[in-house]
Structure 1
Amino acid sequence: MSDIVVFGAGGTAGSRITAEAVNRGHRVTAAVRRPEAVSYLPAGVDLVTGDATSAHSVRELAPGADAIVVAVGGGERALWRDAAENLITVLRDLPNPPRVIHVGGGATLLTPKGVPLLEEPDFPEEYRDAALGQADALAWYRSSAEGVTWTYLSPPPLEFHPGERTGRYRTGTEEPVTDERGRAVLSYEDLAVAVVDEIEHPRFENMRFTAGY
């Protein structure tokens, strides 16, 4: 059993990761900015006020944790880089820093031409700021996360929706995982399975991975 802190536990990904971890016997602290607005987390979760971009929050919640999951969203471009930088800066000063699992963006995955999807000319403009923010966070982990073990998980770039928990998925690293029809697909529920699997049985330490059917 692990002690897991989930920042953004009230969101689409964070709530499913929280539920998956609790259902598998882990102790979970659900950190959200407005606990009063969250009413759908499973029994046994410790719901607290917390912000991944706040040094105070991380210092308060990190001691004793085995893993910190970052599943934040809905902010401006700087949100994801700020969260990554704040976490690494605070955690590296702890004697036994917890591992960081960052739920990132699919648009940072590479096309067959070897360029990030977000750099394609037809990339939707309405998603650009979030995609760039997640790219900034990934670059930060890769360049500046010495002293803390991290993993960045990219979901499929397009077909990623709430759905069924199958408990199965395949993994890759830099390019989307596609099925026999060339589609990169995953449910939020199976993303949560992949996150908790990685906490229980680490395979992608200090690197990015992706998952799909």
Structure 2
Amino acid sequence: MKIAVIGATGHAGSAIVQEAQSRGHQVTALVRNAAKAQEMFDERVTIVEKDALALTAADLTDYDAVVDAFATRAAAYQHVDLATRLVAALRGNTTTTLYFILGASSLKQADGSYVIDEVLAKNAGADWVETPHQQFHEYQFLQWIDNVKWTAVSPQFSFVPGPKTKYRIGTDELMLDADGKSVVSTGNLASALLDEMEDPEFLHKRFTVVNA
């Protein structure tokens, strides 16, 4: 499988690159800083330096899967901007699937409220809070799209660096691990995403992952 990862040097993106490589897939890192990517990845990873918001259909249609692991706090609205750009570029494409890393903001809590509701209530004015807010809107946008192949994945409330171990899959709710914590490692999320690529179950849907 030919896989491109936007934001490949980031928290989620780098774990996805490593997991895809370990399974023998052909991986391309689409990054803003090629030098940084060259330091992180070996020669098996093809590195393309290009601003994510400048990507075109020609840049994307050669891949079986394109992962949007883009992350920024400086201009959080760009999460939605990029999603709309990727969808527009692949309208009518039946061979490339878009995969979006959304964050936990659009998951529901036990009382039916969204995680973003609590985040906004408890962290009003924080410089980082607009990122989960915009990723919530990103998921709202994706739910309207039925003529592009897409799948989204959300981590749990805590998304931490860590290896692949064991994990469980859910859909729209926060989940708890064996210690009662809503947490997933980067390795487990990457593994779950690659499992989905290899055996799709969530086309036009979102799923979530929690450490087992």
For residues 1-213 of structure 1, the aligned pairs below 5 Å read 2-38=1-37, 39-54=39-54, 57-75=55-73, 76-94=75-93, 96-120=94-118, 121-123=121-123, 125-143=126-144, 145-157=145-157, 159-166=158-165, 168-213=166-211
The SS at the match of 1:106 is: coil
How far apart are 1:156 and its partner, in Å?
0.7
Please give the TM-score of this superposition, normalised by the length of structure 2: 0.91
Q: Which deviations, in whole Å up to 9, do the C-alpha atoms of 1:166-187 show, x marking residues without a partner?
A: 1x21011111121244311111
Deviation at 1:203, TM superposition (A): 1.3
User: Do 2:108 and 2:173's aligned partners in 1 also have CA atoms closer than 8 Å?
Assistant: yes
TM-superposition CA deviations, 1:112-133 (whole Å, max 9, x none): 1211111122246343200111
Distance change in 2, residues 1:180/1:19 (3 Å): closer
- Contact kept? 1:7, 1:51, Cα under 8 Å: no
Runs of 4+ residues over 4 Å off in structure 1: none
Percent identity over paired residues: 32
Normalised TM-score (structure 1): 0.90
Q: Mean alpha-carbon deviation: is it higher for 59-68 or for 22-31?
A: 59-68
CA-atom RMSD in angstroms? 1.6
Equivalent residue letter for 1:19: Q
1:76-97 deviation per Cα after TM superposition (whole angstroms, max 9, x unaligned) = 2211111110000010144x34
Which AA in structure 1 matches 2:91?
R
Letter in 2 for 1:102: F
Unaligned runs of 5+ residues in structure 2 are: none
- How many pairs were matched up? 206
Q: Deviations over 1:139-169 (max 9, x none)?
A: 11112x2211111111011x22111221x21
Distance 1:29 1:58 in 2: 15
